[in-house]
Amino acid sequence: MKRIAIYPGSFDPITLGHVDIIERSSHIFDHVIVNLAINPAKTTLFNSKERKLMVEDAVKHISNVSVEAFDGLVVDFAKKRKASAIIRGLRAISDFEYEFQMALMNRSMAEDIDTVFLMPDERYTYLNSSIVRNVASFNGDIKNFVTNFVAQKLINKFKEEKAHELNR
């Protein structure tokens, strides 16, 4: 039986820390589905098509990974894809309480789907999408945090926003 795992997130944008977790997961599971969360209540810098394109580019070197968008509960998506696990990254102790609560909630809704916690390489323990967006918004160097493709998308996005502000 094929072992399938789901790695959910908004990936706004995907960082090298995310890619590290996906690579680690791909060695443990037969197939990893990166679940691009679509949440209309959450404001994102990039729309879902842009985020999906960036994630697909970032994981193109991993043969057993695919990317799918979903706008419901992660646990429902996992059931539909017959996944045995949901992957979550833990960067610091501060992540644990929230992730633990989510894991218990998911288990109450689907006891046959486990949550697997993975820690990224220590180079990425401080890294998250919000920090990357903030650094990029001030023209900071982000090449050690995201792929070249994502870095270019961020640069272009902030150039567009600044041009739009100047035209107001």
Each residue's pLDDT tens digit, 58-84: 999 999 999 999 989 999 999 999 999
Is 37:10 a contact under the CB 8 Å cutoff? yes
Kindly report the backbone phi and psi dihedral angles of residue 86, in degrees, each rounded to the nearest multiple of 5, phi listed first. -115, 125
Active-site residue flag, 84: no
18 labelled catalytic: yes
State residue 168's pLDDT score: 67
Banded model confidence at residue 98, pLDDT cuts 50, 70, 90: confident
Catalytic residue among 18, 24, 88, 153: 18
pLDDT at 101 over 70: yes
80 catalytically annotated:
no
Domain boundaries, the chain: 4-126
Q: What was the pLDDT predicted at 9?
A: 94
Mean pLDDT calculated for residue range 96-108: 91
Q: Give residue 86's pLDDT.
A: 97
Catalytic-labelled residue, pool 42, 143, 164, 168: 42
Kindly indicate the confidence band of residue 31, based on its pLDDT and cuts at 50, 70 and 90. Answer: very high
For 4-126, which CATH class? alpha beta
- Interacting residues of 30 by C-beta distance below 8 A, sequence separation 6+: 2, 3, 4, 64
Give the pLDDT score at 37. 87
**Confidence band of 164 (pLDDT split at 50, 70, 90):** low
- Say what the pLDDT of residue 161 is: 77
Q: Identify whether 91 is a catalytic site residue.
A: yes
85: β partners = 5, 114
Tell me what pLDDT residue 41 has: 77
Residue 163's pLDDT is what? 72
Query: pLDDT class for 2, splitting at 50, 70, 90?
Result: very high
Is the distance from CB of 47 to CB of 160 less than 8 angstroms? no
- From the candidates 79, 81, 91, 157, give the one annotated as an active-site residue: 91
